Amino acid sequence: MANPSFGLDRMNQSVRRVLLLFGLAAVYFVAAKLGLRFAYINSSVTTVWPPAGIALAGFVLLGYRVWPAILGAAFLANVTTTGAVLHRHRDRQYGRGIARLLPRQPVRSGRAGL
């Protein structure tokens, strides 16, 4: 007979992962909105971008599996700022979000030169 607690444990892990992703996305979104308060040239151009550190910490601590949360939160922050879905500077923003994936491997393997 199959152990019924095994199925519940597995479902519990899935629920925890989804909650983790939503939590990270919420923190990234709030940090993005706070960072956009420093915008002075355009509503979406700022010299201070706190979500960059949040994204990098998320990738280093939690792994690549959090990328949907970062990408979704960046998209949502941009859409709620100007209402536009895609523009040249938006494309760069998504590229910067994905670029947070790159530094993780050298840091994790100890070859970062720190």
Q: What percentage of the chain exceeds 90 in pLDDT?
A: 18
For residue 80, give the nearest of 44, 53, 45 by alpha carbon. 44
Residue 114 lies in a domain: no
How many domains are contained in the chain?
A: 1
* Mean pLDDT to the nearest integer, 77-86: 73
pLDDT digits (tens, 9 = 90+) for 10-63: 668 888 889 999 999 999 999 998 988 887 777 767 787 889 899 989 988 988
Query: Could you tell me the pTM of the whole model?
Result: 0.67
Predicted pLDDT of residue 80: 85
The Cβ of residue 63 has, within 10 Å, a number of other Cβ atoms equal to 11
Average pLDDT over the chain, rounded to an integer: 76
Instruction: Determine the pLDDT at residue 35.
Output: 87
Instruction: Tell whether 51 is covered by a domain.
Output: yes
More confidently predicted of 32 and 92: 32
Q: CB 62: neighbour CB atoms within 10 A?
A: 15
CA torsion sign, 23 to 36 to 52 to 64? Answer: positive
Asked if the structure places residue 53 within a domain, the reply is: yes
Answer yes or no: is 89 within a domain: yes
Distance of alpha carbon 22 from alpha carbon 111, whole angstroms:
31
Tell me the C-alpha distance between 82 and 33, whole Å.
12
Q: Position 4: which residue type?
A: P
List the domain range (segments joined by +) for residue 22. Answer: 4-109
